[in-house]
């Protein structure tokens, strides 16, 4: 019996949840939730200068949109500073770490020189083996004693075994001269203390894993199962990150993509399960596994996102869509739907959801149900109305009085009417659409009529005839 899976998402709160981070969170979520494990959230806020509560809130919001719920409280890494220092001091006491009195200026000067000489910029502290008696009374940092010979092998589930020469490892800093812990220490301690079994993160951390390994070994802790996933690139192939103007997850919400579609798209980006492209959350949870993750970076393609968003809207329940649309409106900073509009929307949903790729798209087609008389035709609709004589619409309207108000009968009536006037129904559809919705893009006129009902339909037609 294997132990329970515990994964975590550990963003640093320096900006919005960018799309690459969202996918990392999603992978961790899928892996844990798909196996009855736990998915934890830890905010890496040890850099006080760059961390902000606003950013944390934005990350939480982005995750909420995508439905990535985490177990337990949100953990602040900064809160664990004392524990991190404790570990550093333990290592120091055990002789596995040491005090380094080199100043930052000193090190910077060394690096500059090494760079101009074309030599390795790896800093070798002269204090590594210094006698404590020679220690000056000055500020110091605590560095770990990294192995200098041999190799460190990262057994990565995505990248395979990655071998790094220990001569590439520096004695990284554990505790700054002000006593605060550095990320490299904090991740290891926190992942260990939180019982994290599987770490899925961006491959920008692949090299760091070797460094972190030295802490695991020094503490005698078991290393987690690592999976370093390739970063997502922009459509231009360039790195997509918050530093390079990446789009935040919430911006996609504000653009009106469905969360289900986004989950599907992000899951499929860089991960595959044979030829499956469109799948539900249940299927993703069932299928997701580490060995399906690709090794090469993927580009973000809005067209495919759009397509999947549409497919997910089409299979969503009407009430759920109504709810998600209200949230979209809020995210897009648009006025909320009134209760009446919302109810009308849900009633019309059946003929809207299979034809819309995004929510603004759906709302555009829903205009007929959301608007109230008198209908204000937009430019295109006005043009369609002008293309037909008032007479013919005026003649049609009374005929609606006694027809049975079902889709089929309406269709029959309108076709016969068109035939009687020696025209095609197609010629009539435009003006009818314009009169009923004030828009050129709408559902079928028969659907609109049956949803609107006889009275409202006739009233709108009469309005249009004038």
Partner RNA sequence: GGCCCGUUCGUCUAUCGGUUAGGACGCCAGGUUUUCAACCUGGAAAGACGAGUUCGAUUCUCGUACGGGCUGCCA
Residues annotated as catalytic (active site), given as ranges = 242
Pick from 298, 381, 434, 435 the residue near RNA by CB under 7 A.
298
**Are 267 and 31 spatial neighbours (Cβ–Cβ below 8 Å)?**
no
Pick from 129, 131, 275, 339 the residue near RNA by CB under 7 A.
275
- Compute CA 17 distance to the chain's CA centroid, rounded to the nearest angstrom: 7
| Site membership for RNA, residue 53 (CB under 7 A) | no
Residues 394-453 close enough to bind RNA by CB under 7 A: 411, 424-426, 429-430, 433, 440-446
In the complex with RNA, which residue's Cβ is closer, 69 or 354? Answer: 354
Kindly state the smallest distance separating residue 324's Cβ from RNA, in Å. Answer: 18
In the complex with RNA, which residue's Cβ is closer, 37 or 240? Answer: 240
Size of the site for RNA (CB under 7 A): 90
| Site membership for RNA, residue 163 (CB under 7 A) | yes
Pick from 303, 379, 401, 402 the residue near RNA by CB under 7 A.
303
Kindly state the smallest distance separating residue 276's Cβ from RNA, in Å. Answer: 8
| Site membership for RNA, residue 102 (CB under 7 A) | yes
Report the run of H or E that residue 75 belongs to, with start and end: strand 75-76
Kindly state the smallest distance separating residue 81's Cβ from RNA, in Å. Answer: 10
In the complex with RNA, which residue's Cβ is closer, 47 or 456? Answer: 47
Pick from 34, 147, 234, 297 the residue near RNA by CB under 7 A.
297
| Site membership for RNA, residue 21 (CB under 7 A) | no
Pick from 295, 390, 391, 398 the residue near RNA by CB under 7 A.
295
| Site membership for RNA, residue 182 (CB under 7 A) | yes
Kindly state the smallest distance separating residue 11's Cβ from RNA, in Å. Answer: 7
In the complex with RNA, which residue's Cβ is closer, 107 or 371? Answer: 107
Pick from 7, 24, 28, 77 the residue near RNA by CB under 7 A.
77
Kindly state the smallest distance separating residue 355's Cβ from RNA, in Å. Answer: 4
In 10 A of CB 340, how many CB atoms?
10
Kindly state the smallest distance separating residue 96's Cβ from RNA, in Å. Answer: 18
Residues 108-127 close enough to bind RNA by CB under 7 A: 111, 118-123
| Site membership for RNA, residue 47 (CB under 7 A) | yes
| Site membership for RNA, residue 320 (CB under 7 A) | no
Report the run of H or E that residue 445 belongs to, with start and end: helix 445-452
Pick from 307, 326, 342, 462 the residue near RNA by CB under 7 A.
307
- In 3D space, the residue among 172, 167, 173 whose CA is nearest the CA of residue 147 turns out to be 167
Q: CB under 8 Å to 68, separation ≥6 — which residues? A: 9, 25, 26, 29, 39
**Are 250 and 65 spatial neighbours (Cβ–Cβ below 8 Å)?**
yes
CA distances 451 to 395, 398, 414, Å, are 22, 19, 16
Sheet arrangement for strand 141-144: 97-100, 141-144, 173-175
Q: What's the count of helices (H) and strands (E) in the chain, helices before strands?
A: 20, 12
Pick from 12, 197, 214, 397 the residue near RNA by CB under 7 A.
12
For the chain, the distance separating the N- and C-terminal CA atoms, rounded to the nearest angstrom, is: 77
**Are 13 and 47 spatial neighbours (Cβ–Cβ below 8 Å)?**
no
In the complex with RNA, which residue's Cβ is closer, 37 or 218? Answer: 218
CA distances 158 to 155, 299, 462, Å, are 9, 18, 66
Residues 241-260 close enough to bind RNA by CB under 7 A: 241
In 10 A of CB 100, how many CB atoms?
20
- Three-state DSSP class for 173? strand
**Are 11 and 59 spatial neighbours (Cβ–Cβ below 8 Å)?**
yes
Select from 89-97, 198-206, 213-221, 391-399 the region that touches RNA (CB under 7 A). 198-206
**Are 184 and 208 spatial neighbours (Cβ–Cβ below 8 Å)?**
yes
| Site membership for RNA, residue 332 (CB under 7 A) | no
Measured distance CA(288)–CA(27) in Å, rounded: 8
| Site membership for RNA, residue 70 (CB under 7 A) | no
| Site membership for RNA, residue 349 (CB under 7 A) | no
For residue 39 the two structure tokens come to 């998915």
In the complex with RNA, which residue's Cβ is closer, 33 or 365? Answer: 365
Kindly state the smallest distance separating residue 315's Cβ from RNA, in Å. Answer: 12
In 10 A of CB 21, how many CB atoms?
26
């Amino acid at each position: 019996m294997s132990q329970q899976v515990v994964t975590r998402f550990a963003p640093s709160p320096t900006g919005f949840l960018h799309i690459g981070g969202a996918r990392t969170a999603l992978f961790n979520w899928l892996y844990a939730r798909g196996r009855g494990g736990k998915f934890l959230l830890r905010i890496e806020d040890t850099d006080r200068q760059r961390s902000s509560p606003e950013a944390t809130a934005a990350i939480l919001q982005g995750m909420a949109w995508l439905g990535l719920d985490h177990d337990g409280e949100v953990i602040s890494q900064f809160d664990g500073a004392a524990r991190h220092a404790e570990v550093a001091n333990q290592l120091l006491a055990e002789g596995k770490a040491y005090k380094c009195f080199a100043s930052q200026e000193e090190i910077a000067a060394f690096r500059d020189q090494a760079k101009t000489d074309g030599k390795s910029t790896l800093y070798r502290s002269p204090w590594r083996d210094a006698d404590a008696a020679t220690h000056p009374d000055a500020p110091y940092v605590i560095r770990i004693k990294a192995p200098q010979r041999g190799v460190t092998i990262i057994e990565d589930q995505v990248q395979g075994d990655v071998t790094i020469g220990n001569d590439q490892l520096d004695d990284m800093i554990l505790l700054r001269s002000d006593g605060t812990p550095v990320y490299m220490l904090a991740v290891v301690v926190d992942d260990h203390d939180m019982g994290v079994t599987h770490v899925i993160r961006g491959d920008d951390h692949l090299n760091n894993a070797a460094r972190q390994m030295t802490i695991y070994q020094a503490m005698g802790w078991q290393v987690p199962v690592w999976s370093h996933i390739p970063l997502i690139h922009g459509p231009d192939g360039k790195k997509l990150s918050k530093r390079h103007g990446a789009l935040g997850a919430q911006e996609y919400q504000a653009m009106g993509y469905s969360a289900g579609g986004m989950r599907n798209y992000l899951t499929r980006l860089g991960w595959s399960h044979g030829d499956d492209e469109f799948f539900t959350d249940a299927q993703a949870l069932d299928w997701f596994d580490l060995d399906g993750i690709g090794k090469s970076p993927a580009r973000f393609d809005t067209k495919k996102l759009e397509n999947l968003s549409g497919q997910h809207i089409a299979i969503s329940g009407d009430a759920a869509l109504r709810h998600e649309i209200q949230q979209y409106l809020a995210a897009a900073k648009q006025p909320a739907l009134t209760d009446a509009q919302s109810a009308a929307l849900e009633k019309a949903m059946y003929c809207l959801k299979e034809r819309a790729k995004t929510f603004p798209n759906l709302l555009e087609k829903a205009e007929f149900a959301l608007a109230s008389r008198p209908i204000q035709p937009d430019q295109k609709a006005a043009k369609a109305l002008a293309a037909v004589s008032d007479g013919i619409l005026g003649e049609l309207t009374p005929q609606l009085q006694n027809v049975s108000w079902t889709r089929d009968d309406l269709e029959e009536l309108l076709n016969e009417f068109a035939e009687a006037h020696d025209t095609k129904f197609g010629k009539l559809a435009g003006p009818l659409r314009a009169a009923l919705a004030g828009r050129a893009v709408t559902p079928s006129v028969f659907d609109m009529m049956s949803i609107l009902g006889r009275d409202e339909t006739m009233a709108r037609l009469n309005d249009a005839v004038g």
